[in-house]
A and B are shown apart, each in its own frame.
Chain A
Amino acid sequence: MILIWKDKKEKAEILQSRVPVTYAVDFEVPDDVKEGYITTDGKNLTYRIRLSAFEKIKKTSKYDIEKKKTDLKGVLHISEVKKANIPLSRFEIDSKGKAFSGFAITEEAKLDPEMKAVQKTVMDSSARKIIDDYSPRVKIPYELAAKLAKLKEDLPKKEFDSLMEKVQKELDKRFIDPYEAVGIIAAQSIGEPGTQMTMRTFHFAGVREMNVTLGLPRLIEIVDARRTPSTPSMEIHLKTKFAKSQQSVMNIIKKLENTTINDVADIITDTAELSVTVRPVPARMKERLVDFSDIEAALGKATQMSVVKDEEKNELTVKPQQETFKRLYQIQEQLKTMSIKGVPGIKRAIGRIDEKSGEWLIFTQGSNLRGVLDIEEIDAYNTTTNDITEIAEILGIEAARNAIFKESLNTLQEQGLEVDMRHLMLVADMMTFTGSVRAVGRQGISGRKSSVLARAAFEITTKHLLRAGLMGEIDTLTGVAENIIVGQPVTLGTGSVNLVYKGVTRKE
C-alpha cells in the first residue's frame, strides 16, 4: 500500500529540509502504509517519503508543521524525503481516479497484463546453461546460445556434442583480435556508405505536414546529438485493449493532438464593437475531431474576458473586460494560440495499422514523451520518440544509448545499406558513456580529448595551444593523432605490442 497526496511545492521542500519531521495532515492513513509520494503538479510524483508512524490527531498532539489550518486528522512521522520523478500514470488510482486532488492510498501498478511483452531481460535458463557449460574456454554469445539450446533438445547427444565441438572451434576464430582499432573501423564503416545515401526528407503516412528526415541528414543529426531533431516524431504503441478498434484509437488521437482555436475556427476581430468572434469551421473541426463544446470549454477557462454564445450562428463572441484596443489585440493573439485539447508539442497524430502485429499504432508529428507517457491508454514500454535528448532526460542515459543505436541502425537500413550493428553500438556507447549525450565533433567527444595536440589538429588550433601553455598541460602521446604529429608509431594494433628478437648466442 502506498500513500499519495498532493501538496504545495514549498511544503514539500520544507519537509525535505527538516527530516525527520512530523506533519499534521487532513487525512487518515492505515497503519501498514510505510511509503508515500507527494505530487506537486498532479502529474508526476515529485517526492518520495518514508513513514515511520501515523497517529490520529488529538488536542495534545505535537507536530512540526501542518498541511492546512483546519480539519486536521492525523500526524505523519516522516523519516525520509527524497526527490523522485515518476509519472502518476504508473499508479492505478482507484475510485476517485482522474479527479485525484487530495490524497489516495493505492497499490503500485503491477505490470499491466494488457501491456505488451516487455523486452526480455532475463536470460533463458537453458541458454544460460549452454554458456556456462562451455565457459571459460569459449564465451558463447547469448543469441547463439539460445539457438543452440533449442537444438540441444532436438538432436541426439552424440550429434549435439560434435556440433558443439565444431561451434567452439569456429567461434574461437571469430573473436576480435586484441588491440584492434575498432574505433576507426566503426567510423569508416559508418562514414563510407555516407556517400551513397540520399539527402531527401520524405512525406510520411499520407499527411501533409508530416515529414521524416531520413538518409544522410538524419544520420548527421544523430551523430551531432542535436537538441531537437529537425522533424521530431513519435511512434506510440497502445495497450492491447485500446489497440484493436479504430474508434478507441481515434479517441486517443483526439487526446493527443494539440489543437488550437485557430486550427478549427476563424477568428474575426471587430474593432468597432471591440470584440473577437470565434467562428468554428465544421470541416476543420471534423478533421481535428473537435466539437463545438470543446471550444466553449477552452474559452470558458480563460480569464479577463467575457464569452457570449450565439446559439443560432454557432459562434462565440469574446469581449475584453477592459475595453482597450491593446487588450483586444492581446485577446486576439491569445485566442489564436489557445489550446483546446491535446498534449503540447504534438502537432499532428495519425493512426495506422501495423502490418506485423495487426494492431493500431499512432504516429505523431512533434514529440513530447513526458506528456504522452502520462496518457493511460499508452503502452509506455514500447512508445518511442526520435528525439534522443528527450529520451536521455526522461528515461535516462541507457535508454538514450539504445535510442542512438536504433535510430542510426534504422536510418542506415532504410537506405538499404548493410552496416554491422557492432559499429553503431560503439558509436552509441562512445556518445553516452560519460553519462550525458555527447556529440561527435568539436563540441563533444573531439573537444574533450586528453591530448592537446590531437585537439589542436582537429579544429580551433590556437585556442587549445594557448590554453595548454597557461595550464602547463602535458601531452602523454597515447592517442593516434599525437603520435602521428611527433612522428612515432601509433599505439594501436601492432603498434601496441613491443616485440624484440633477442637473438641466440651460440655456444662454440
Chain B
Amino acid sequence: MTTGISKRISSIQFALLSPDEIRKMSQIKVITADTYDDDGYPIERGLMDLHMGVIEPGLKCATCFGKVDECPGHFGHIELAMPVVHVGFIKEIKTFLESTCSSCGRIKLTQDQIDKYRKRMEGFDFASSDPENLALVSKRITDEATMRKICPHCNAPQKAVILDKPTTFREEGIKVTPKEIRERLERIPDSDLIFFGMNSKVARPEWMVLTVLPVPPINVRPSITLETGERSEDDLTHKLVDIIRISQRLRESRDNGSPQLIIEDLWDLLQFHVTTYFDNQTAGIPPARHRSGRPLKTLVQRLKGKDGRFRSNLSGKRVNFSARTVISPEPFLSVNEVGVPERAARELTVPVIVTPFNIDSIREIVKIGPEARDEFGRYRAGANYIIRPDGRRIKVTTQNAEENSKRIEVGWTVERQLMEGDIVLFNRQPSLHRMSMMAHTVRIMQGQTFRFNLAVCTPYNADFDGDEMNLHVIQKEEARAEARIIMKVQEQIMSPRFGGPIIGGIHDHITSMFLLTHNNPTFTEDETMHMLSYVEPVRQPDFKVENGHKLFSGREIFSSILPEGLNLKYKSKLCSGAKEKCEYEERAEDIYVTIENGRMLTGTIDETSLGPFSGIIIDKIYRSFGSDEAYKFIDRMTRLAVGFISMRGFSTGITDYDIPKLAVERIKEIGLDAEQRIDQLIKVYKEGLLEPLPGRSVEETLEIEILRITGEARDGSGNVASQYLGMTNPSVIMARSGARAKMLNIAEVAGMVGQQSVRGGRINRGYTGRTLPHFKRGDIGAAARGFVISSYKSGLNPVEYFMHSIGGREGLVDIAVRTSRSGYMQRRLINAFEDLKVDDERKVQDTVGSIIQFTYGEDGVDPTRSDSGESLDLDYILYNLNRGGK
C-alpha cells in the first residue's frame, strides 16, 4: 500500500434549492400518483419510477444502470399546479413581506439608512459569522423597515401583513395567495437581501415559495413487502401521492375554469399536504395520519429528536465486529485481559493483509477452517472470509478451507477469527467517563460470558448481577496501536477526575490483605507456599526459624509482591471507622504503614492502601515505576488476596450479629427510653412550655429535639452492640478495613434501625393527622412517625416495616430522578466542551481559535498525572531524597 493519507472533506456549504436546480438535478418528472402496476412493476413516471433508483433485487436503475446496492438513488420532481409556501420559512416570508414595499419590492428604508446598515451587515461573513448575532442585527433593521407605512422609494402606501397561522397571510383581512407572495418576493432586488440575513449568492426569497417539489430517491423511502405479499409504502411516498393527486385536480379545475371557491379549497388542500410533507407537527395543523390512525413520520420528524437521523444515525452509528454478553468475574485473569467465549471469538474477525512475510502462517489459518481445534480440543483461530483485491468476499467453510488456502496470494485480505493476544475494546454503558471503554487483550475461554479481573469493576462500575458488556474488535493497525498505547487498562489506572488510582482491590481483596497484615500473623512454610503458588512473587519472602520450623510473617508475604525500591510511609484508616476511642490509637505499629525498599515493616493494609480512589500503594508504584509495574502489582495483589482468603476461609452470616441476651435487653431499654423521652417532650410541647430554639418555631424545635434523641438512641444501641462484636467478627473486619459496609450498618443489624426519614424529617404523610390507621389522629409519638426500635436481625414489626419501606422508596425515587437529571447535564456539558483542545503551547482553544485559557488549568499540569490535583508531591520527593541520603 502506498497511501497512508486519506482525503478529508474540507467544508460543507448550505444553500436553498432554486426551482431550476430542482429540475436540473431531477432525473424524471413524476406525474402519476400511482406506484406499482398489477404485476408489481414500477409504473413509468410514477412515484416508484426506476429512474429514481432501485430497491428490488434483479432490477436495474434506469439512470445509472446500477443494481440494488450500487445505485445511490436519484431525485425526481413534481411540478406543482400552483405555488405553495414552505412551512420552514414562514417567519422569514413574513419578515420579507412586512419590510419590503408591496409594489416596488425595495426594503422600506431610506437611502441613508440603507447605506448605514449595509456597512453594518457587510461586516458579517455569512459563512462563518455567528448566525445568532446576525439574526439579531437583521431583526433590528427589518423591524425598523416594518414600521414604515409608506415606501420611501416609490411612495406607495403599505398595508399591514398578518400571519394567520400556520401558512396563510392576510392583508387587511384579504388573503394574499402564495402566487402573489412569490411575485412580491421576486421583486426584491438582490442588493436588499443582505438586510434580511439572506445570502444572495445561495438563496432568493421567492425560492421559499415552492413551485417545484423535489421527489427524494426511492432509497430514501423504500416500500416494504409484507409476508402476505402485500406492499406497504413509506410515509413519504404516501404523502407524495397525496400531493400529486391534489396538484392534478387543482390543475384540471383551474384549466376547466371551475369556480374560484373550489380552486381555492384545492389550493389550501395542496398547501396542507405540502406542509405536512415537510413537518407533520406544525402547530395549528392536524397531523396527517396513516390509515391505522398513526401520525405519519415526514421529513422533519425523520431528522428531529433522540430517534431522529441526526442523533440516532449520524452522531451515533451501529458497528460491526462487536459482541455483547453477560459478564462474570475471573480472578486469574490480568487486569489487562478479557475472557471471550469461544462462540463470540468464532464470529469476531480481524482482517489481515497477506504479505510475503505472513503468507505461510495465513495459509495455515485458512486451511484449518472456521471451526478449528487443536489436538486437545482447544480453540484455534481459523478464518471466516477471504477478500480478494477486487473486493469480492469468499466465505470459508470447513469444506472449501484447504482449497481456499491455496488460492491466497499476496495482497489479499483474510478475515481471521479472534485469537489470544488480540487487542479489543471493552465497554459498559452508561459510558460516563473515558474509563468506561478500555482496551484489553483477548483470552479465549470456555463458557458463554465475558470475564475480567475484579479490580476493573470500579472504572466500568460493573457488578455481576446480570450486567452485560460490549466488546469491539479493532480492524486497523493504526487503531490497534493507539488502543495499545492509550486505552489499555494499565494506562487508565489513574483517573483524570481526581489524579488518583481508579483501579484497585475491592471487597475480598481488601479483607484478605487486611487479614494478612493486621497484627502481622505468621504462617508455616506450607501455608506460605500455598499462598504464593497463586502469584509470581517479586522475590522470596524472608522467614525466621522457630522450633525448627520456618515461619513467614504476613507482612513479609505481602512484601514479596511489592516492587523493589518502593519507599512509603503513611497512616492507614484503621481508626477512622471506629466510634469514640479507637483501640489502635496508641499502636503505631498497626497504624503506620512503613515500606522501605519494597519491604513492609509496620502497619496494616486496608482500603487506603489498595482501594480504588484512595490506593496509596498503587498510586506510588504507578508514579515511581510506571504503568507496567502498577498493573503487575494489581495482578499479583488480587491473586495473592484470592489465594490467601480462600485458604484461610472467610464468610459472614446472621450469627455474626449474635449478641448476649443482656445486650439485647440493654438495647431495648435504650429504645424504650428514647420513646419515653420523646413522649415527655411532646407532653411539654402540648402544654406549650417548650422553649423554641433561636430562629425556630416551637414545632421545628420539637422535631429537631426528637431527631436528636432518635439519633442518640441508634448510636447508643450501636455502641452496645459493638462492645460484643470485636475484631474477630467478619462483618467488623469488613467495615474496619473498608472492604464493605460501615459500622453504622452493623449497628442497624445488631442494634437498632432507628428513625426513618423522608426529606430529612420524620415521616409525616398519609392520612389526615396520622401516618397509618393504627394511630390516633394527632399522635406525633415515636412509633407513629417512623421510629424503628427493632434491629434488622430481630425483625421489624408491621408498622416499622411499613415506615422503613417509605424511607426506602424515597431513596429509589431519588435515584431515578437523579440519573435522568445528571444524564442530561452531562450531555449538555459534553456537547459544550467537546471541541476544546490543548495546543502545542498548552493554551486551550476551541475550533474557531478562540483562546479559553492561556495555560491549561493555570499551571499546565495534566490532572491525570497530578497528585490529587497538586502539581507535584514535594513531600514524597523529599522523603525519597532523604532516605537516599541515609
| CB contact between A178 and one of B9, B12, B840 (< 8 Å): that residue | B840
Which stretch of A139-147, A272-280, A299-307, A322-330 is in the interface? A139-147
Q: Which residues of A contact B89 (CB under 8 A)?
A: 466, 470
Q: 8 Å CB contacts to A: which residues of B833-883? A: 833-840, 842, 844, 847-848, 850-853, 855-863, 865-866, 868-869, 871-872, 874, 877-878, 881
Hey, which chain B residues are within 8 Å of A170, CB to CB?
A: 872, 877
Query: How far, in Å, is B886 (CB) from chain A's closest CB?
Result: 13
Q: Is A89 at the interface (CB under 8 A from chain B)?
A: no
A473 CB within 8 Å of chain B: yes
Q: Which residues of B contact A30 (CB under 8 A)?
A: none
Q: Chain A interface secondary structure, helix, strand, loop or mixed?
A: helix
From the candidates A422, A457, A473, A492, name the one contacting B311 in the complex (CB within 8 A): A457
Closest to A141 in B: B859
A480 to B314, CA, bound (A): 12
Would A174 and B695 count as touching, CB distance under 8 A? no
Q: B137 at interface (Cβ–Cβ under 8 A)?
A: no
B202 close to chain A: CB less than 8 A = yes
Interface presence of B650 (CB below 8 A): no
Instruction: Given A179-B837, A470-B203, verify A191-B830 contact (CB < 8 Å).
Output: yes
- Interchain CB contact under 8 A, B837 and A180: yes
Contact of A451 with B by CB under 8 A: yes
Report whether B834 and A450 are in contact in the complex, using a CB–CB cutoff of 8 Å. Answer: no
> Is there an interface contact between A501 and B831, defined as CB atoms closer than 8 Å?
no
Contact with B along A478-508 (1 / 0, CB 8 A): 1111001110100111101010110000000
| Residue with the greatest number of chain B CB neighbours at <10 A, chosen from A464, A467, A477 | A467
A395: interface (CB < 8 Å): no
Contact A462 B300 (CB under 8 A): yes
- Check if B160 is an interface residue, CB within 8 A of chain A: no
B496 in contact with A470 (CB, 8 Å): no
Interface Cβ pair total, 8 Å cutoff: 354
> A470-B203, A476-B10 known; A421 and B857 CB under 8 Å?
yes
Q: B694 to A206, Cβ gap below 8 A?
A: yes
Q: Please state if A175 and B310 are interface contacts (CB–CB under 8 Å).
A: no
Bound together, the chains give a CA A177 to CA B485 distance in angstroms of 14
Q: How far is the CB of A209 from chain B (nearest CB, A)?
A: 9
Bound CA span A184–B855, Å: 17
* Cβ B836 vs Cβ A183 within 8 A: yes
A478: which B residues are within 8 A, CB to CB? Answer: 835, 847-848
A418 within 8 A of B: yes
Q: A166-208 interface mask toward B, CB cutoff 8 Å, 1 = contact, 0 = none? A: 1100110111111111111111111111110111101100111
* B497 in complex: contacting residue of A418, A441, A479, A494, CB < 8 Å: A418
A12 at the interface (CB under 8 A from B): no
Interfacial residues of chain A within 461-475, with CB under 8 A of chain B in the complex: 461-462, 464-475
- Interface majority SS (helix, strand, loop, mixed), chain B: loop
**Are B130 and A450 in contact (CB-based, < 8 A)?**
yes
Is the C-beta of B726 less than 8 angstroms from some C-beta in chain A? Answer: no
Given A183-B835, A444-B832: A188 and B826 within 8 A (CB)?
A: yes
A501 adjacent to B4 (CB under 8 Å): yes
Kindly provide the distance from the CB of B363 to the nearest chain A CB, expressed in whole angstroms.
Answer: 26
Docked pose: A340 CA to B99 CA in angstroms: 53
A466 to B16, CA, bound (A): 9
A166–B881 touching, CB < 8 Å: yes
- The contact string, 1 if C-beta is below 8 Å from chain A, for chain B 288-305, is 000000000000100111
- Do residues B874 and A190 form an inter-chain contact, with CB atoms below 8 A? no
Asked whether any CB of chain B lies closer than 8 Å to the CB of A423, the reply is yes
Does B833 contact A426, Cβ atoms closer than 8 Å? yes
Identify which of residues 789-837 in chain B touch chain A, using a CB-to-CB cut-off of 8 Å.
Answer: 814, 817-819, 821-823, 825-826, 828-837
B830 touches A171 (CB 8 A): no
Binary CB contact string for chain A from 206 to 217 against chain B (1 if under 8 A, 0 otherwise): 111000000011
Q: Mark B5-19, 1 if CB is under 8 A from A, else 0.
A: 100111111111000
Contact residues, B759-809 vs A (CB, 8 A): 759-760
Contact A485 B314, CB 8 Å, known A178-B840, A472-B202:
yes
Bound Cα distance A191, B881 (Å)? 39
Nearest CB on A from B423, distance (A): 16
What separation, in Å, do the CA atoms of A143 and B873 have in the docked complex? Answer: 12
Closest partner residue, chain A, to B761 (CB atom):
A203
Contacts of B693 in A (CB 8 A): 206
Q: Does B696 make an interface contact (CB < 8 A)?
A: yes
B850 touches A182 (CB 8 A): no
Q: Give the most central of A178, A203, A474: most B CB within 10 Å.
A: A474
Contact between chains at A461 and B825 (CB < 8 Å): no
Q: B565 within 8 Å of A by Cβ?
A: no
Q: Which residue of A lies closest to B856 (CB)?
A: A176
Interface string of A139-157 (1 = CB under 8 A from B): 1011110011001000000
A84 proximal to B (CB < 8 A) = no
Residues 177-199 of chain B, each 1 if its beta carbon lies under 8 Å from chain A, else 0: 00000000000000000000111
B88 within 8 Å of A (CB atoms): yes
Is the CB–CB distance between B496 and A462 below 8 Å?
A: no
Q: Is the CB of B432 within 8 A of A188?
A: yes
Q: Determine whether the beta carbon of B14 is less than 8 Å from that of A452.
A: yes
Q: Which residues of A contact B127 (CB under 8 A)?
A: 472-474
Do residues B847 and A182 form an inter-chain contact, with CB atoms below 8 A? no
Is the interface on chain A under 10, 10 to 19, 20 to 34, or 35 or more residues? 35 or more
A457 partner residues in chain B, CB cutoff 8 A: 310-311, 314-315
The listed residue (B130, B317, B838, B878) touching A163 by CB distance below 8 A is B878
Q: How far is the CB of A446 from chain B (nearest CB, A)?
A: 5
B833:A476 contact, CB within 8 angstroms: no
- Asked if A447 lies at the interface with its beta carbon under 8 angstroms from chain B, I say yes
Residues of A within 8 A of B130 (CB): 448, 450
The yes or no answer to A458 lying at the interface (CB within 8 A) is yes
State whether the Cβ of A419 lies closer than 8 Å to any Cβ in chain B: yes
Contact with A along B407-448 (1 / 0, CB 8 A): 000000000000000000000000011100000000000000
Tell me the minimal C-beta distance from B707 to chain A in angstroms.
12
Question: Residues of A contacting B8 with CB < 8 Å?
Answer: 477, 488
B830 touches A188 (CB 8 A): yes
Instruction: Verify A191–B869 contact, CB threshold 8 A.
Output: no
**What chain B residues lie within 8 Å of A468 (beta carbons)?**
14, 131
Are the C-beta atoms of A471 and B126 separated by less than 8 Å? yes
Judge if A414 is at the interface, Cβ distance under 8 Å: no
Residues from chain A with a CB closer than 8 A to the CB of B874 are: 144, 147-148, 151, 167
B823: chain A residues within 8 A (beta carbon): 194
- Chain B proximity of A120: nearest CB distance (Å): 15
Q: Which of B826, B831, B865 neighbours the largest number of chain A CB atoms within 10 Å of its CB? A: B831
Chain B: CB-nearest residue to A487: B317
Report if A220-B821 is in contact (Cβ < 8 Å); known contacts: A175-B842, A179-B838: yes
B169 beta carbon closer than 8 Å to chain A:
no
Contact of B128 among A148, A450, A479 (CB under 8 A): A450
Of the candidates A420, A433, A449, A471, the one whose C-beta lies within 8 Å of that of B852 is A433
Q: Does A350 have its Cβ within 8 Å of any Cβ on chain B?
A: yes
Which residue from A167, A462, A470 sits with its C-beta under 8 Å from B304? Answer: A462
Query: Which positions 443-483 of chain B face chain A at CB distance < 8 Å?
Result: 482
Q: Is A500 a contact of B4 with CB atoms below 8 Å?
A: yes
Partner of B829, one of A440, A469, A474: A440
29 A-B residue pairings within 8 Å (CB atoms): A141-B860, A143-B871, A175-B842, A176-B856, A177-B862, A184-B834, A186-B833, A187-B829, A188-B496, A189-B433, A199-B817, A199-B818, A202-B760, A207-B695, A418-B497, A419-B498, A420-B498, A422-B858, A430-B852, A433-B850, A440-B832, A440-B833, A453-B314, A462-B88, A468-B14, A472-B13, A474-B127, A481-B315, A484-B315
Q: A151-B874, A462-B304 are in contact. List 9 more A-B contacts (CB 8 A).
A: A139-B855, A170-B877, A176-B838, A420-B863, A427-B829, A446-B828, A448-B132, A468-B131, A472-B14
- Top 4 closest pairs, chain A to chain B, by CB: A191-B826, A183-B836, A194-B822, A422-B857
B-binding residues in A (CB < 8 A): 139, 141-144, 147-148, 151, 159, 162-163, 166-167, 170-171, 173-195, 197-200, 202-203, 206-208, 216-217, 219-220, 223, 287, 350, 418-423, 425-427, 429-430, 433, 440-441, 444-454, 456-458, 461-462, 464-481, 484-486, 488, 491-494, 496, 498, 500-501
